[in-house]
Structures are given as structure tokens and as C-alpha cells.
């Protein structure tokens, strides 16, 4: 037992869970927590210039490492400023812990309008997270922090919130600390039903043209998935969160553009740790007689896209069991090398159409080490990267997933670099999205976070502008942008900046920037309206699948 404040009880509980970094922006309700962070030599605190960046940095930290990313902000407007990042963490199943304050406990529910009061903050946060709770007394902090970690790490991961009232943060009590939740009881690995494994293996060995689709739930199962794929001679298709699980330079690692070329002949689809959004919604029109098998840790997924056989289990364990069962049921299969390589070659030829995006991505890939991180963004080069940027290792491609959160990229990249200081981190951005978090250049300098930003400046919300050109007869509204001089801007923040006007220039600039290890802004000028649309590659059956109903899985 030791006497400490509520804020201190939270911080000491974080240390018990191995937290080494907290992203945070202080204010009066959470002073005690910050004061405890001052004491906590084991935790590095990284501040930001807007709360949204604390949460994006925690998201980048979590996605790039698989560990919990922690941020802390004031209640009300402070925590609301982080909600775009939180819904992104939710979309990407990222274990992000949001710790926020509350108005004084005596005022809760009275509606008297205390500083930063929301009508029902906990209810609001519950709609944005996997789990949320209020710590009502300092003595309850160790238990609830442990609970938060269990929630983030068990089953389908996701963000959680803990809040504590202002007076409880300051209140002192005798507190008994607990060990980290996993030291107390390991988090259970969900085992597959052996009967279903056997049935699925039978279907897989009976298939002539199986296909595997992987997503963010399979990030830890790469080796097993490659072995299963090789055994079955099945292409492994990934889109955003699943990139790099099977390296793109492996014969069986395919983008969705290459995968789609093999789709119409596929007779068995095996989804592992994926919502199956690509085959079910983007591709639609399933091949006749297609059998769908799924491995997912979340039983609810089986209700959303219904499989013929649904295995609710940890993807690594289930895939390992599938390999054994498949090897028992079937012999060596004929190689599909030629057809798969042809699909890949056709796909890479076709996406050359995306110029200049493809040429720029090519040089970024040449310069970025295999284990370097690429943080995409909702932009022309970002979209092209979904299908045209080779990824070699899981977690090295950081995406906002289905949330499509414009502006997530640069602040997320700061968190990626904070978590991986020895690795190269490149953040690509459009001029529109970059300006959502431009002030964090100050954060990069203050904490010496050496992210290299490649800013593709077309002086427009380019995607919107092109839609207005093509679909609204050029009635441009709200999509042209008047930008600052980005070089002067960088300079004023103390960030080195340079311009590159072609792929060769970008290559040189990147080599130099990555060598420095300091934050750097490279601006690439793009002629407004010059970038061709990527959407026909992503929605091969029509750009707007919502209005054109197709048969879905
Ligand atoms: C939070 C959020 N707000 C708005 C949008 C809508 N949106 C999608 S793309 C885009 C324009 C992006 O412009 P920019 O970052 O310059 O990239 P570009 O398309 O020009 O390459 C907008 C406004 C979004 N996806 N997310
Ligand atoms: Mg733009």
C-alpha cells in the first residue's frame, strides 16, 4: 500500500502495464495525472499542439507496434478533439487507450455548466470505443486500468476510454498496486473448433482455384498464411490493413487489382482476419458456386458476411491448424505460378495509368528500407498506394482503413516514428490533408521526431475537385485551395524543407532527408487536375456501388 493521488494511481498502473510513452496535452482537470507523469521516469511524455494529434500519435504507435498506444487530454472539447482519431482506431482495431478527465464529481449529471462539461461524456465515449469506464475512486484505478488493457487486447482489439473526475484525480488514498493484467492471468487465445477446421480443410483441398483474403486481424499470422497459401497454391490478396502480411515480392502476395483478375474463377474464398469488404462490396458479383470460409476472432463478423464455414478463433492458431488438416487431406497441388504471375504483371501494367502517382510511389519504395514505415493519406498518391505501393512486412504500411480520415497521416506518422525511432518513416500527404495537422511540425521539432513528409501539392482538395469536374459538370465549389508558401512555413517551424519537381528529384531529396534523421518537408508540385482517378481499380464494377446495387456476397 502507498499513499498517492488518483492521477498517480493511473500513471503507476500504466507503468505496471509496460507503457513507455504517453501522448498528452494538459489542462486543469488532469494536472495531477501530469504531475505524476513528471515523476514517472519510465514514461516519455510527448505533447502536441492540438488534441487530435495526441490520439493520432497513439494510433500510429499502436498500429506500428501492436502495443497499446496511450494518450491523455482534458474532458469535453479536449476529448472531442480526438474523436476522428478514435473512430479511426476503432475502424482499424487499434489498441488505443484514451485517458481523460471529468468535471468535479459533485457536479456530474447536474447540467450546471462546469468547465468542459458535456451532457454525458461517458455515454458519448461509449459510442466511439470498444469499452469505456469512469474510475470513481483512486483505489479503483489499478483494477480499471487492468480491465482497460484486457479489453484492448482480448478478442477483437479496439480503443477504450477511461475517465476520472477532477476531484478524484487530486484525491489521495492508500492504494494497493496490481501487476499488469497479463502477469495476473494471460489473455486467452481463442482456439478454433477442430471439427470446423477439418470441414474447412476438406473444402480447401477440394478447391481448384482457392483464394485467400487477409486483413488487419491476420497481422501476426503472416508465416502461417504463407505456408497455407503455398500448400494450396492460393493467391493471398490484401488491400489496406492487411498489406505486408504476405510480402508483395512473394509470388503469392497480390494487390486487389491483381486479385480481381483471378476472382471470376475462384471457387473457394478463405478470409482470414478480414471483414471481406473487398470481395463482398468492392468486387461484388461473386463467381457462381463460390464457397466462403472465414477465420475471425469476432463472432459478429460471421453475421455480417455469412460464410459457409465460419471459424471463430485467433488467426495464427487457426491457420496453423488449417495447414495440418490440409496437409492430411490433400497432396501436392499443381503450381498456379503462371496464371498468378500473369495477373500480377497485368495489374502492374494497368496501374501505370496512374501517372504521376505511380512514378512517385516507385521512387519512394526504392528509397524506403524494407522495414521502413509508409503512412498513407486520403489523397491521390495515398489511394494509388493502396494498390501500387509494394509492402514487404506487416505493420509497415499504416492506413486509416475504412474511416478514410483526411488529415490522419502526418500526426499518425509522428506516433509511428516515436515508437520506432530507428526506422525510416515517410508520411505522404496532399496539401488539403496536411494542413489538418500542420501545426504538429512544431511537435516534430520540439521532440525531434524525424518523420519525412512528402507533400503532393495540387492546390486543391483534388479528389473532390475531380469529382466535381467529372460528375457535376465542372461546378467547382469548396475544392480549390489557396495555400501558404510551404517552404517558408517549414522554415518558420525550424523544419528543413525542399522542393522536388519530378520522381528523380524526389528520390534525391528523400535520400538526403532520410539520412538526416530530423523532420523534413519535401514539397512536390502537381499540376492541378492532372492526376487520373484511381477509382476504377478499386471499384472495378462501378465507382459508386451504393447507388448501383449489385449482387453481393
Ligand atoms: C475528415 C475528412 N473530411 C473530408 C473528407 C473528404 N475528402 C476526401 S478526399 C478530400 C480531398 C483531399 O485533398 P488533398 O489532401 O489535397 O489530397 P488530393 O486529393 O488533392 O491529393 C476530401 C476533402 C474526408 N475523407 N475526411
Ligand atoms: Mg490536394
Answer whether 406 contacts ligand 1 (Cβ < 6 A). yes
Question: Does the beta carbon of 458 sit less than 6 angstroms from any atom of ligand 1?
Answer: yes
Mean pLDDT across 306-311: 98
In 10 A of CB 112, how many CB atoms?
Answer: 9
Q: Within 10 A of 361 (CB to CB), how many other CB atoms are there?
A: 23
**Which ligand is closest in space to the CA of residue 400?**
1
Q: How far, in Å, from the CA of 384 to the mean position of ligand 1? A: 14
Residues 282, 406: Cα–Cα separation, whole Å: 21
Does the beta carbon of 155 lie inside 6 Å of ligand 1? no
Convert the pLDDT of each residue in 109-129 to its tens digit.
999 999 999 999 999 999 999
Taking CA atoms, 295 is separated from 152, 301, 313, 331, in Å, by 20, 9, 6, 23
Task: Give the mean pLDDT of 351-360.
Answer: 96
Distance 421 CA to ligand 1 centre (A): 29
- Give the pLDDT score at 181: 87
Alpha-helix residue ranges (DSSP H) falling in 154-255: 166-170, 181-184, 194-206, 222-232
At 256, is the secondary structure helix, strand, or coil? helix
Q: What's the pLDDT score for residue 330?
A: 76
Do 459 and 524 meet the contact criterion of CB atoms below 8 Å apart? no
The pLDDT, as a whole number, for residue 121 is 98
Average per-residue pLDDT in the chain? 96
Q: How far is the CA of 463 from the centre of ligand 1 (A)?
A: 6
CB neighbours of 113 closer than 8 A, spacing ≥ 6? none
Q: Residue 385: CB within 6 Å of ligand 1?
A: no
**Predicted TM-score of the model (pTM):** 0.97
In the reported structure, the alpha carbon of residue 200 is separated from the centroid of ligand 1 by a whole-number distance in angstroms of 42
Give the ranges where 264-356 is alpha helix by DSSP (H): 277, 301-304, 315-329, 337-350
Averaged over 8-16, what is the pLDDT? 98
Query: pLDDT digits over 158-180, tens only?
Result: 999 999 999 999 999 999 999 99
Complete DSSP assignment for 11-79? HHHHHHTT--EEEE---GGGHHHHHHHHH-TT-EEEE-SSHHHHHHHHHHHHHHHSSPEEEEE-TTHHH
Alpha carbons within 13 angstroms on the beta-carbon side of residue 478 total 2
Residue with cell 488467426: 315
pLDDT exceeds 80 at position 45: yes
Closest CA to 398 of 421, 415, 381: 415
Ligand 1 contacts CB of residue 357 (under 6 A): no
% of the chain residues with pLDDT over 70 = 98
Q: How far is the CA of 356 from the centre of ligand 2 (A)?
A: 14
Q: Of all residues in the chain, what percent carry a pLDDT higher than 90?
A: 94
Per residue in 226-268, pLDDT tens? 999 999 999 999 999 999 999 999 999 999 999 999 999 999 9
CB 141 within 8 A of CB 36: no
* Tally of CA atoms within 13 A in the half-sphere of 472 that contains its CB: 9
Angle ∠(319,312,551) on CA atoms, nearest 5: 95
Res. 545 pLDDT band, cuts 50 70 90: very low
184-188, 408-412, 534-538: segment of lowest average pLDDT: 184-188
Over residues 524-543, the mean pLDDT reads 91
Residue 431 CA to residue 550 CA, distance in Å, equals 35
DSSP per residue, 118-163: -TTHHHHHHTTSSEEEEE-SGGGHHHHHHHHHHHHHSSS---EEEE
Q: Give exposure, 320-353, as e/b (b: 16+ Cβ within 10 Å).
A: bbbbebbeeebeebeebeeebeebbeebbebbee
Kindly tell me if the per-residue pLDDT of 461 is higher than 80: yes
Residues measured by CB to lie within 5 Å of ligand 2, the ion: 430-432, 458, 460, 462
Strands 172-175 and 2-5: antiparallel
Is it true that the peptide bond before 37 is cis, omega within 30 degrees of 0?
no
Indicate whether residue 433 lines ligand 1 (CB < 6 A).
yes
64 CB less than 6 Å from ligand 1?
Answer: no
> Is pLDDT at 157 greater than 90 in this prediction?
yes
Q: Is the per-residue pLDDT at 404 higher than 90?
A: yes
User: 156 — phi, psi (to 5°)?
Assistant: -80, 120
Nearest ligand to the CA atom of 534:
1
Amino acid at each position: 500500500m502507498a499513499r498517492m493521488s488518483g492521477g498517480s494511481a493511473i500513471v503507476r498502473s500504466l507503468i505496471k502495464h509496460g507503457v513507455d510513452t504517453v501522448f498528452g496535452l494538459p489542462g486543469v482537470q488532469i494536472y495531477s495525472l501530469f504531475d505524476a507523469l513528471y515523476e514517472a521516469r519510465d514514461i516519455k511524455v510527448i505533447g502536441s499542439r492540438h488534441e487530435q494529434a495526441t490520439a493520432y500519435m497513439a494510433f500510429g504507435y499502436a498500429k506500428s507496434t501492436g502495443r497499446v498506444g496511450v494518450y491523455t487530454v482534458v474532458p469535453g472539447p479536449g476529448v472531442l478533439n480526438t474523436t476522428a482519431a478514435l473512430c479511426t482506431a476503432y475502424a482499424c482495431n487499434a489498441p488505443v487507450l484514451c485517458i481523460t478527465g471529468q468535471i468535479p464529481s459533485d457536479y456530474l449529471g447536474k447540467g450546471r455548466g462546469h468547465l468542459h462539461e458535456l451532457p454525458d461524456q461517458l455515454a458519448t465515449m461509449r459510442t466511439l470505443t470498444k469499452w469505456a469506464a469512469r474510475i470513481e475512486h483512486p483505489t479503483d484505478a489499478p483494477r480499471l486500468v487492468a480491465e482497460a488493457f484486457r479489453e484492448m487486447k482480448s478478442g477483437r482489439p479496439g480503443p477504450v476510454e477511461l475517465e476520472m473526475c477532477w476531484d478524484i484525480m487530486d484525491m489521495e488514498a492508500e492504494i494497493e498496486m496490481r501487476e499488469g493484467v497479463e502477469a495476473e492471468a494471460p489473455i486467452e487465445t481463442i482456439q478454433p473448433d477442430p471439427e470446423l477446421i477439418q470441414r474447412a480443410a476438406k473444402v480447401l483441398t477440394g478447391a481448384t482455384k482457392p483464394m485467400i483474403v487477409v486483413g488487419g486481424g491476420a497481422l501476426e499470422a503472416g508465416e502461417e498464411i504463407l505456408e497455407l497459401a503455398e500448400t494450396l497454391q492460393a493467391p493471398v490478396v490484401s488491400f489496406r490493413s492487411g498489406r505486408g502480411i504476405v510480402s508483395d515480392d512473394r509470388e503469392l502476395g497480390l494487390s486487389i487489382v491483381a486479385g480481381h483478375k483471378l476472382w471470376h474463377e475462384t471457387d473457394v474464398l478463405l478470409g482470414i482476419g478480414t471483414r471481406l469488404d473487398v470481395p463482398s462490396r468492392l468486387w461484388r458479383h461473386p463467381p457462381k458456386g463460390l464457397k466462403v470460409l472465414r477465420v475471425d476472432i469476432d463472432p459478429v463478423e460471421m453475421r455480417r458476411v455469412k460464410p459457409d464455414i465460419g471459424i471463430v478463433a485467433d488467426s495464427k492458431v487457426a491457420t496453423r491448424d488449417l495447414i495440418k488438416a490440409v496437409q492430411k487431406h490433400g497432396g501436392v497441388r499443381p503450381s498456379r505460378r503462371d496464371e498468378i504471375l500473369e495477373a500480377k504483371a497485368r495489374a502492374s501494367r494497368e496501374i501505370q495509368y496512374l501517372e504521376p502517382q505511380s512514378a512517385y510511389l516507385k521512387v519512394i519504395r526504392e528509397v524506403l528500407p524494407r522495414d521502413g514505415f509508409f503512412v498513407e493519406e486520403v489523397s491521390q498518391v495515398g489511394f494509388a498506394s493502396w494498390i501500387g505501393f509494394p509492402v514487404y512486412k506487416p505493420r509497415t504500411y499504416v492506413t486509416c482503413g475504412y474511416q478514410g480520415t483526411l488529415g490522419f497521416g502526418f500526426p499518425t506518422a509522428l506516433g509511428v516514428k516515436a515508437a520506432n525511432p530507428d526506422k525510416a518513416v515517410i508520411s505522404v500527404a496532399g496539401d488539403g490533408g496536411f494542413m489538418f495537422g500542420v501545426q504538429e511540425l512544431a511537435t516534430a521539432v520540439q521532440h525531434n521526431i524525424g518523420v519525412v513528409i512528402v507533400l503532393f501539392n495540387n492546390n486543391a482538395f483534388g479528389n473532390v475537385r475531380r469529382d466535381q469536374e467529372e460528375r457535376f459538370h465542372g461546378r467547382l465549389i469548396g475544392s480549390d485551395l489557396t495555400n501558404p508558401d510551404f517552404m517558408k512555413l517549414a522554415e518558420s517551424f525550424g523544419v528543413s524543407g525542399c522542393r522536388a519537381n519530378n520522381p528523380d528529384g524526389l528520390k534525391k531529396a528523400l535520400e538526403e532527408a532520410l539520412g538526416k534523421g530530423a523532420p523534413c518537408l519535401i514539397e512536390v508540385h502537381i499540376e492541378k487536375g492532372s492526376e487520373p482517378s484511381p477509382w476504377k481499380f478499386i471499384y472495378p464494377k462501378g465507382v459508386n456501388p451504393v447507388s448501383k446495387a449489385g449482387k453481393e456476397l
